[in-house]
Structure 1
Amino acid sequence: MRAHEAGWAHAEDGARGPAWLREPADTNALVEHLWSRTAVKVDGALEIGGVRVADLVAEHGSPAYVLDEVDFRARAAAFRDAFAAYDVFYAGKAFLSTTTARWVAEEGLFLDVCSGGELTVAERAGVDPGRIGFHGNNKTVEELTRAVDLGVGRIIVDSFAEIERLAAIVAERDTTARLLVRVTAGVEAHTHEYIATAHEDQKFGFSITSGDAFEAVRRVLAAPGLELLGLHSHIGSQIFDSSGFEVAARRVLALHARVLRDLAVEMPEMDLGGGFGIAYTTQDDPSEPAQLAAEMTAIVEHECRALGIAAPRLSIEPGRAIVGPSMCTVYEVGTVKQVALDGGAVRTYVSVDGGMSDNIRTALYDADYSCTLASRASQAPPMLARVVGKHCEAGDIVVKDEFLPADVAPGDLIAVPGTGAYCRSMASNYNHALRPPVIAVRDGATRVVVRRETVDDLLATDVGGMA
């Protein structure tokens, strides 16, 4: 596709859709691996958790995030069981609420947070602080103090300043804190530039190449009250194979072995991070947890044998891979517009009542999504469409290209799968939009997990008052 000076959203060749997108034989059918496990079509109408999406919208309004509790728990359990020899931390940044934090704990997972706000949600949910990991590249003194006072199980340190802050906090309280040192292994996963996090030129961690990582380990070991658990590495997001983990594990384990050799310290743990991919469209083919576990374990065991060291206890941090497929977003169609392009092509814009305020990923990452007509069956032929939002922004696109029935019309409901990760958690009030609710479904019943924002919520922080 040739570049367009106004950006990818205006490239004319897109009117024909990407090469991988195939016209469906039946627009009423679900592409099953894109949806949560209880999602089905009944007479063309989408049901999740035994609840008709149209009924859910009638009760709770649209747009709405629909969270399949059975699917969420099953995916959490699949990682727990596949990685039974590991500690599995659910990455709360993908999506966190008190309800999902409790589900995570009930399914036997640990919880990873990366801000004081996420830590507060975990505390409110009653999560055992000893089973919490605390990430972040710029944790404040207040956040670190709170983590120490709560007894957070491990703090992943990200800078020399943070090591000094923690040393002062534990000295003042005459206590200890358990730490991992986040390192950058110089490995860039095959993913979008903005979400690849293990290359050198970025804000996270200590570089192994420059020697900063070894120096960070040395400083932690020299500080009274700081207990070093091990090293932490994260190579990116939406990763579909283990090759990136292989290179990163080799470099991180080499540092692990150097610490043992030069400082006579055997660190008991190592975290290989998360970033496991999910299927957003038919072009995605993610690995199952069991396959990932087998491959990653083999990689670590092989490298440890080569280095002549014992394997540390491993941990991972799936977030998207658990909650991503467990949630979809339901919208109501407001307008359908056909726009003539050069060369006789036509693009059909299907505008819905949400957009980049509830899913920024398409605009931010050029992410791809799929969708389906959710409220009825259609006998109309497939039509290539672009699903767009209602915001005052040309890049306000939800689904760049997908086949919908040609009779899609105002009042229809459209559902977009795979919106559990980084959609509600990155949602905004752009154009003063009200953020949608999260509605959990199970066994024919609905439960509000996060309520819809109201106009009162929107105005609560506006202290200007009435004119």
Structure 2
Amino acid sequence: MRAHPAGALHAEGYGAPAWLSVPADVNALVPGLWSATASRGEDGALRVGGLDVAAIAAEHGTAAYVLDEVDFRARARAFRDAFDAAFADACGGADVYYAAKAFTCTAVARWLAEEGLSYDACTGGELAVGLRGGMPPERMLLHGNNKSDAEIARAVRAGLGRVVVDNLGDVDRIADAAAAHGVRQGVLVRVTVGVEAHTHSYIATAHEDQKFGLSLAGGDAAAAVAAVLARPELDLRGLHSHIGSQIFDVAGFEVAARRVLGLHAAVAREHGHAMPELDLGGGFGVAYTTQHDPLTPEQLAKGMAEVVVEACAALRVPVPRISVEPGRAIAGPSTFTLYRVGTVKDVELDGGARRRYVAVDGGMSDNIRTALYDADYSATLAGRASSAPPVLSRVVGKHCESGDVVVKDEFLPGDVGPGDLLAVPGTGAYCRSMANQYNHVPRPPVVAVRDGVARAVVRRETEEDLLALDVG
């Protein structure tokens, strides 16, 4: 990280990063960053789902998250089919739980149910959305390191297939809720396996010094397993492991799977309980810029299947039914954020270099990830094509904050100006989920597009919505 009192984004002498090269065609859409139906029309304007972005902006305004329904469904099916096929011979297939934290709404939950996926909720709110969207409760699980008694009771009452034990206290609380409702509740025990994913420290979740799960090395996971088996109200379905987010290879999963399968085998050996399932979590990466090269669902599934089958053979245990939890990899590339440019400003840097600041009608309220994680994004002039030469630009928002940066570095046409439409791809995961009301800016809508029709699946927040929360 470059040192500067106002943050790394403001360090002296900072120019374009090494991975960002001057484009041969500033109008070209970089493959891998955009959804399946995104393209340039004959007039050079960006189109998605059969619609020109100008038409979307005219009907729904800007800023707006534009969600390609065809692409979202196709990515969901790709994970479903790839993992089911890769594990078919080993254990009869696999289950894909969509990680709702990436982005959820009732329409998305309905799409997932229709495409045969399951649903992973972390809170009562995400649980409520899944149920309202028609997701069968037996295909849902509830995570959380600090689940409330009310959330646990709601999950049990609704008939959720799995509730994840994240700490020793969860065991009795879930069992007591099951007893109160006269059911036997399926549970998974989340294991911290000591594997640190090669990702930002805030989103690496399997090393020991963090809030999630029960330590494998420290014996807490084994203690939780014993505690679950001592409560007849609970059905120990299996173990759960998650090593982080934005992961681009299967090496971390290989180490994690071997370690958690070691406990899986020990439980069968010492307790005589053959757990039928193993959840290996998610965290599969996506491409935000040209520096990212994610694996396909088929590559991920094949690699993980090889690891699991080999480890189970070495341990002489049957391969359990495998589950995975993609969220970002489905939602992320399916959506771009559509902005309108307000102001353009040139700033001189050290050595005579210049950077252009392009300000849009959104910012860190609709995409906090750049400020929070030092995340990289791309951008393109969306409303038209341009023959102007590319200029190193920084896309910033409208908020009263120096860290209000959406895209740190991008080459945009030199004639970008007020009124132009700008699109930032790869914003389907976590941007709307983490959206906020900083400076009392209402949150944008989520506009789903398909077959030439655009419809809001999450409406735009209004000032009336903001004021309605004030009391007095």
**TM-score band (shorter)?**
over 0.9
Partner of 1:328: 336
TM-score using structure 2 length: 0.97
Partner of 1:140: 148
Match of 1:220 among 201, 205, 228: 228
Alpha-carbon distance in 2 for matches of 1:26, 1:175: 62
Alpha-carbon distance in 1 for matches of 2:339, 2:31: 20
Give RMSD over aligned pairs.
0.9
Partner of 2:61: 61
Question: Quick one: percent identity of the two aligned structures?
Answer: 67
Alpha-carbon distance in 1 for matches of 2:323, 2:288: 26
Partner of 1:28: 27
- Contact 2:2–2:8 (CA<8 Å) still a contact in 1? no
Alpha-carbon distance in 2 for matches of 1:80, 1:175: 29
Alpha-carbon distance in 2 for matches of 1:79, 1:26: 33
Are residue 401 (structure 1) and residue 409 (structure 2) matched? yes
Alpha-carbon distance in 2 for matches of 1:381, 1:206: 55
Alpha-carbon distance in 2 for matches of 1:188, 1:267: 26
Instruction: Letter of the 1:187 partner, please give it.
Output: V
* 1:106-117 paired onto structure 2 within 5 Å: 106-117=114-125
Alpha-carbon distance in 1 for matches of 2:180, 2:79: 39
- Contact 1:355–1:391 (CA<8 Å) still a contact in 2? yes
Instruction: Letter of the 1:349 partner, please give it.
Output: Y
In the TM superposition, what is the alpha-carbon distance from 1:260 to its structure 2 partner? 1.0
Alpha-carbon distance in 2 for matches of 1:332, 1:461: 28
Cα pair distance change 1:364/1:45, threshold 3 Å: same
Alpha-carbon distance in 2 for matches of 1:212, 1:206: 5
Are residue 80 (structure 1) and residue 72 (structure 2) matched? no
Partner of 2:323: 315
Instruction: Letter of the 1:380 partner, please give it.
Output: A
Partner of 1:163: 171
In the TM superposition, what is the alpha-carbon distance from 1:408 to its structure 2 partner? 0.5
Instruction: Letter of the 2:62 partner, please give it.
Output: S
Alpha-carbon distance in 2 for matches of 1:408, 1:255: 57
Partner of 2:106: 98
- Contact 1:171–1:224 (CA<8 Å) still a contact in 2? no
Partner of 1:178: 186
Partner of 2:421: 413
Q: Secondary structure of 1:142's partner?
A: helix
Alpha-carbon distance in 2 for matches of 1:175, 1:306: 36
Partner of 1:359: 367
Alpha-carbon distance in 1 for matches of 2:2, 2:372: 20
Q: Secondary structure of 2:97's partner?
A: strand
Match of 2:346 among 331, 338, 350: 338
- Contact 2:188–2:239 (CA<8 Å) still a contact in 1? yes
Partner of 1:39: 38
Deviations 1:381-407 (A, max 9, x none): 000000000111111100000000001
Q: Secondary structure of 1:34's partner?
A: coil
In the TM superposition, what is the alpha-carbon distance from 1:174 to its structure 2 partner? 2.5
Deviations 1:91-114 (A, max 9, x none): 111000000000001111001111
Instruction: Letter of the 2:224 partner, please give it.
Output: A
Deviations 1:18-53 (A, max 9, x none): 000011011111102100010001122000001101
> How many residues align structurally?
463
Match of 1:199 among 199, 207, 210: 207
Are residue 296 (structure 1) and residue 295 (structure 2) matched? no
In the TM superposition, what is the alpha-carbon distance from 1:262 to its structure 2 partner? 1.2
What are structure 2's unaligned runs of at least 5 residues? Answer: 85-92
In the TM superposition, what is the alpha-carbon distance from 1:342 to its structure 2 partner? 2.6
Alpha-carbon distance in 1 for matches of 2:181, 2:47: 54
Deviations 1:329-363 (A, max 9, x none): 00000000011223222121000000000000000
Alpha-carbon distance in 1 for matches of 2:189, 2:390: 52
Alpha-carbon distance in 1 for matches of 2:53, 2:77: 26
Alpha-carbon distance in 2 for matches of 1:21, 1:122: 39
Alpha-carbon distance in 1 for matches of 2:63, 2:181: 48
Alpha-carbon distance in 1 for matches of 2:249, 2:146: 30
In the TM superposition, what is the alpha-carbon distance from 1:2 to its structure 2 partner? 4.5
Alpha-carbon distance in 1 for matches of 2:73, 2:13: 41
In the TM superposition, what is the alpha-carbon distance from 1:275 to its structure 2 partner? 0.2
Alpha-carbon distance in 2 for matches of 1:171, 1:155: 15
Instruction: Letter of the 1:421 partner, please give it.
Output: A
In the TM superposition, what is the alpha-carbon distance from 1:122 to its structure 2 partner? 1.1
Q: Secondary structure of 1:12's partner?
A: coil
Alpha-carbon distance in 2 for matches of 1:174, 1:379: 69
Alpha-carbon distance in 2 for matches of 1:171, 1:399: 51
- Contact 2:13–2:350 (CA<8 Å) still a contact in 1? no
Alpha-carbon distance in 1 for matches of 2:422, 2:12: 25
Are residue 239 (structure 1) and residue 238 (structure 2) matched? no
Deviates more, 1:26-35 or 1:366-375: 26-35
Partner of 1:277: 285
Alpha-carbon distance in 1 for matches of 2:178, 2:30: 53
Partner of 1:150: 158
- Contact 1:82–1:290 (CA<8 Å) still a contact in 2? yes
In the TM superposition, what is the alpha-carbon distance from 1:124 to its structure 2 partner? 1.0
Alpha-carbon distance in 1 for matches of 2:207, 2:58: 47
Instruction: Letter of the 2:164 partner, please give it.
Output: I
- Contact 2:13–2:349 (CA<8 Å) still a contact in 1? no
Q: Secondary structure of 2:13's partner?
A: helix
- Contact 1:9–1:394 (CA<8 Å) still a contact in 2? no
- Contact 2:6–2:402 (CA<8 Å) still a contact in 1? no
- Contact 1:67–1:326 (CA<8 Å) still a contact in 2? yes
In the TM superposition, what is the alpha-carbon distance from 1:316 to its structure 2 partner? 0.1
Alpha-carbon distance in 1 for matches of 2:378, 2:54: 19
- Contact 2:341–2:417 (CA<8 Å) still a contact in 1? yes
